[in-house]
Amino acid sequence: MRKLLLVCVILITSMVQAQILEPVSWSTSVEKISDTEYNLITKATVEIGWHLYSQHVPADGPIPTTFVYDDSAGNFTIVGNTTEGEGHTVDDPVFGMKIKFFEGEAEFIQKVTVTKATKTITGFVEFMVCDDTRCLPPTEVDLEFHITDNAAASNTDAHAPPAATETDKDIVDTIKTEEKQDENRGLFSIFFIAFLSGFAALLTPCVFPMIPMTVSFFTKQSKNKAVGIKNAIIYGLCIIIIYVLLGTAVTGIFGADALNALATNVWFNIIFFILLVVFAVSFLGAFEIMLPNSWANKVDSQADRGGLIGIFFMALALAIVSFSCTGPIVGTLLVEAASKGGIAPIVGMLGFSLAIALPFALFAAFPGWLNSLPKSGGWLNTVKVVLGFLELALAFKFLSQADLVLQTHFLEREVFIAIWIAVFGTLAFYLFGKIQLPHDSPLTHISVGRLGLGLIVLSFTIYMIPGLWGAPLNLISAFPPPLEYSESPYGVGYSKVGGGVAAAHGELPDGAHLLAPHDILAFNDYDKGLAYAKQVGKPVMLDFTGWACVNCRKMEQNVWPEPEILNILKNEVVLISLYVDDKRKLEADEVVESQLKPGKQLKYIGQKWSELQAVKYKANSQPFYVLMDHDESNLMDPVGYTPDADEYHAWLKAGLNKFK
């Protein structure tokens, strides 16, 4: 009786779910700034319960909102980037990252300069929305902006829902407040990491030896202790100003929002990877990244002038002379801060410069403290080499993000972990004195501190080894690709969860793969999967899913591993997973015209599967599960997000019984 009730609930739920959903409506307006400058304003009205993702989300997160304006006719030029409101930022447990989205309403503004007489500017927006139980595939909506003399009229979507009630506005205000708190916490973490990085830079051979030189300079220049303390404070403030100006310049040149857009772009992730590898190789001793000597000489000559100007140029000389050691660290910090957007680069440089400035200012103010400092020596180069290994490991995070977006499977989870094991394993050998690099001093023995650090690095290396066979590695979960982005079961990442049909295959069928971490035989091609189902005499389960679908991952991580459900998925059905947000291009002979939007072509694999779901099943949300026979007829009404494992199992069993 209980199972019968569950099936009834599922049938009712599926009838509600099987529909084309349009929870976002778009309207446009134009604001005139001058005779040639206009703001193109796009407003999204989002139904209650749904959320629209920001333009700026991490590369391996959900699909971002993207605006494209057709300037091919040369009637206007785009000024800067499309700006957006504050939105709401949360720590998403499935993606393991901070993700920004909008609820209720969202406004996007693009500034343009009109160069030729024109009445209309066109474009389109691509976006993705989700609610608590499902996600919709990436959708494109055409936009049209009417440039009039007063540019005040609103080009309103005829299907726009009524304005939000006062209660809804209160909710939006509350969300904005929470989002501001999240941003503040993110900036604090950037500041803290940058502060620690500043202390690390302090312990490099380019910076540490300059402390006594600086103290000597201020001791000679100051007439008494009070003047010395004042000059030391000014010196520290000058160091902070120089680095903060650098962060401000980076933000100002590229724009606060543009930095985030660059950091999530595939090609810039690749550029960041190359940049960090160059920094790492420099730290390891292959070469030094230096600014021209003429710069240092000119600055040194100005430092002799004395007074405030002389102190400022003394601080600038420190920044230039120590660049070969601080440059790679500063570059890495700016890259990391750029991925956060906003004023993060400025906050990062403030934290970094504060850590650099404090010791210099304090020792300049109190020269007697110098006696407590350790002497310069080979240990400074060791610090530099350790930082080089850390930079090298971090570089592969950016290459991994680019690989995930392109879905090239070049840097899958096992390969990434293997690279990290090699990097940190080599670092452990270095710390134990088994490897020497070009600028190392002869090592007759290792200190207790170096031995302790070597043991920590070796322990971390050993900890990562089980990750090659599917261990989750929670300590570093934010860095390697997700578990499902793994090699074939016959590579190093092969992980079995119990027995099953997949285990019996010495060779996988054409077009099939084993879906990690559950070892489920799955297809990503509809025709190949259906042909195999006919061959083995099993029903088909279509899984309309997405790489950026949060609730799809929840089902795969929380519901599918249940023993009874996993047994069915592995042994009694043929799983065909169709990713509606797959951005890989279709082959030329597969490009067809859309049935839903005549005149538009389906260019991507994801568009093909999204249209199949919409046309055949009158639904466009994910996850969406269909059980069908070999004639492609439904065995049961499809279901969507079903977090109750008992309900999902009852639906599967009912479909299997009907097939038999």
Long-range contacts of 618-621 (CB under 8 A, 24+ apart): 618/18, 618/19, 618/20, 619/17, 619/18, 619/19, 619/20, 619/21, 620/20, 620/21, 620/136, 620/137, 620/139, 621/17, 621/21, 621/134, 621/135, 621/136
Q: Rounded to whole angstroms, how far apart are CA atoms 594 and 611?
A: 8
What pLDDT sits at residue 428? 94
What homologous superfamily is domain 24-164 in, according to CATH? Thiol:disulfide interchange protein DsbD, N-terminal domain (2.60.40.1250)
- Given a contact cutoff of 8 angstroms between Cβ atoms, the answer to whether 542 and 576 are in contact is yes
The pTM assigned to this predicted structure is 0.44
What pLDDT sits at residue 8? 47
CATH fold match for the domains 24-164 and 501-659: no
What pLDDT sits at residue 421? 95
Q: Rounded to whole angstroms, how far apart are CA atoms 230 and 398?
A: 44
What pLDDT sits at residue 405? 64
Which helix or strand (DSSP H or E) is residue 349 part of? helix 344-365
Helix, coil or strand: residue 41: strand
Q: What is the mean pLDDT of each run of 10 residues along the chain (660 residues)?
A: 44 48 87 86 88 81 84 80 84 71 89 84 87 78 76 42 40 41 59 79 65 64 68 80 76 52 63 81 74 59 61 72 64 62 72 80 70 61 82 84 76 89 94 85 82 93 88 74 62 43 60 76 90 92 80 80 90 91 80 78 84 82 89 88 89 90
CATH of domain 501-659: 3.40.30.10
Q: Rounded to whole angstroms, how far apart are CA atoms 262 and 259?
A: 5
Long-range contacts of 421-426 (CB under 8 A, 24+ apart): 421/461, 421/464, 421/465, 421/468, 423/389, 423/392, 423/393, 424/389, 424/393, 424/457, 424/460, 424/461, 424/464, 425/458, 425/461, 426/389
What pLDDT sits at residue 543? 92
- In the chain, count of helices (H) and strands (E)? 19, 19
What pLDDT sits at residue 584? 81
What pLDDT sits at residue 540? 93
Long-range contacts of 24-27 (CB under 8 A, 24+ apart): 24/50, 24/52, 24/127, 24/129, 25/157, 25/159, 25/160, 25/161, 26/125, 26/141, 26/143, 26/157, 27/154, 27/155, 27/156, 27/157, 27/160
Burial class of residue 46 in the structure, from the number of CB atoms within 10 Å of its CB (0-12 exposed, 13-18 middle, 19+ buried):
buried
What pLDDT sits at residue 5? 44
Give the start-to-end residue ranges of the domains of the chain. 24-164, 187-373, 377-481, 501-659
Task: Give the bridge partners for 126, in sequence order.
Answer: 66, 140
- Given a contact cutoff of 8 angstroms between Cβ atoms, the answer to whether 591 and 611 are in contact is no
Q: How long, in residues, is the chain?
A: 660
N-to-C CA span, the chain: 21
Cβ neighbors of 29 (< 8 A, separation 6 or more) are 41, 43, 145, 153, 154, 155, 156
